[in-house]
Structure 1
C-alpha cells in the first residue's frame, strides 16, 4: 500500500508558487518524506546565426589542425 503524503495539496501548491516566484528550489521534509519543487526554467535559445558561427569556427579549427 502506498504511503499517503503527510501534507495538504494546498501546502504543496503554495510551496510551488513560492519557488516559481522567487526562482529557488524549495523542499519540505516530514517524517522522512521529502517533497521538492523547483521553478521550471526555459532553456536558453541560441540564435541560428550564433549557432552557424560556432559551426563555422569549429569546422575551421578542424581544417586548420588536420581533423577530418
Structure 2
C-alpha cells in the first residue's frame, strides 16, 4: 500500500525525494501518514480537496484486509 501511495503522489509533486509514507496499525484500522514538501502540499490536496479525495478513493478501493479500515492522512 505504501508503494501505491508513493507512486501516485510522485507524479504530482515537484520534490519527490521528500515524500514519506509511514504506517500505524491498530486493532480495527490502519492509518497511513503521507508527508510531502511544504511547497507540494497544495498540489497533493488540490482545489477543494479533489485530488486528495481521489487518492483516498484509490487507496480505499485497493485494501486487502476486509476487517480493518484504512485511513490516509496528508500532512
The structure that is strand-richer by fraction is 2
TM-score w.r.t. the length of structure 2 is 0.28
| Greater C-alpha Rg | 1
Give the number of the structure with larger relative contact order, counting CA–CA contacts within 8 Å between residues 6 or more apart.
2
